[in-house]
Structure 1
Amino acid sequence: MKILVIGATGTIGKEIYNALKKNHEVYRAHRNSDTYPVDITNKNSIKSLFEKLPKLDAVINAAGTASWKSLSDLKEEDYYLGIKSKLMGQVNLVHIAKDYLKENGSITLTTGILAEHYEPNAVALSLVNGAIHSFVHAASNELNRGIRLNTVAPGAIAGDFPKDQKFAGYLPVEIEDVVKIYEHILTTKNTGQILKIY
């Protein structure tokens, strides 16, 4: 398969790339790449990336950020950081990627445990993750040519977070187990799924 991994230098994206490249033709994109640079907050940047690549079987996004502040400290502009990056960045990615994928292609987004579980200072990220879940449920019904849309929602990643400390009420998950979820979704016919691992 020809697969694009966006955010391929991050905690999750790097491990997805390393796992998939063993058996597939994988392209790694990130903001500072010399070969395949992309800024998901910019639609032109996303489109430019796809125009450099061959017709793809799958796209996985592991990029996106949001503000970490308490509710009392959050200002309107703080919310817009996550709305422009993790929310609209992924929404625009779907709008653009669907035209560059082969028939029956796969788009996989990334959210997380904060879509439905509370963690202090994560209100803005919770808002964005929940919105992406709603988008995936709805938009997956309107994609043509058999293209599938899903999202993986992991908990905190062990190693980046203490193994014995709970995050949003759950212990961290191993990165190897998270990567297996991304690999699995490439080989199923499921669409509109929120694949939770926490």
Structure 2
Amino acid sequence: MKVLVIGSSGTIGSAIYKRLVSQSHEVYGANRGSTDYPIDITDVNSIKHLFKKLPKLDAVINAAGTASWKHFSDLKEEDYYVGIKSKLMGQVNLVHIAKNYLKDNASITLTTGILAEHYEPNAVGLSLVNGAIHSFVNAASNELDRGIRLNVAAPGAIAGDFPENKKFAGYFPVNIEDVVNVYTEILTSDTTGMIYKKY
């Protein structure tokens, strides 16, 4: 398969990239600092420019996006817009653009996380956008044509990035290999509109 992994320099994205390469897929790794495939998901023109450089793809996996980490009492409107512009609209715009460059029956996988439905201090801004992405995928997956599938991977904290003996949002961290398994399962399934939780 020809697969684009966005956020390929991050903890999750780099692990997905390595796994897919090891399985002999033709994988394109894109991130902000890439010289070959640079992308900024907050910039629609950047997303379009990347897809114009690539061949028709079988799948797109996004593991990029950020939001503000602040206590609710410290959050201002502009803090919310960090996550809305990046992790929310960045992924929404990615779907709108990617669908025009994908093969029939291709797969698009977005990334959210445990904070969509479980509380962690100072994570209100991220919880907001994660929940919004779940609602977006639930609805938009029904209106994509040509058999294009749209799903979400929602992992917990990653062991190694977070202390293994400490809970995050009420759950212990998960192994990165188990998280990557979720993304590869989505690639090989025929599901759409699903939230794949791993925590």
| TM-score, normalised relative to structure 2 | 0.99
Whether 1:6 aligns to 2:33 is: no
The residue aligned with 2:69 is: 68
The residue aligned with 1:52 is: 53
Alignment of 1:102-141 (within 5 A): 102-141=103-142
Aligned counterparts of 2:174 and 2:33: Cα–Cα separation in 1: 28
Aligned counterparts of 2:39 and 2:189: Cα–Cα separation in 1: 28
Paired-residue identity, % = 77
Letter in 2 for 1:31: R
The residue aligned with 1:25 is: 26
Runs of 4+ in 1 over 4 A off after TM superposition: none
The residue aligned with 1:182 is: 183
Q: How many residues are aligned here?
A: 198
Q: CA deviation at 1:51?
A: 0.2
Q: CA deviation at 1:182?
A: 0.3
Q: Deviations over 1:161-187 (max 9, x none)?
A: 000100000000000000000001111
Alignment of 1:73-92 (within 5 A): 73-92=74-93
The residue aligned with 1:143 is: 144
Aligned counterparts of 1:123 and 1:85: Cα–Cα separation in 2: 15
Q: CA deviation at 1:137?
A: 0.2
| TM-score, normalised relative to structure 1 | 1.00
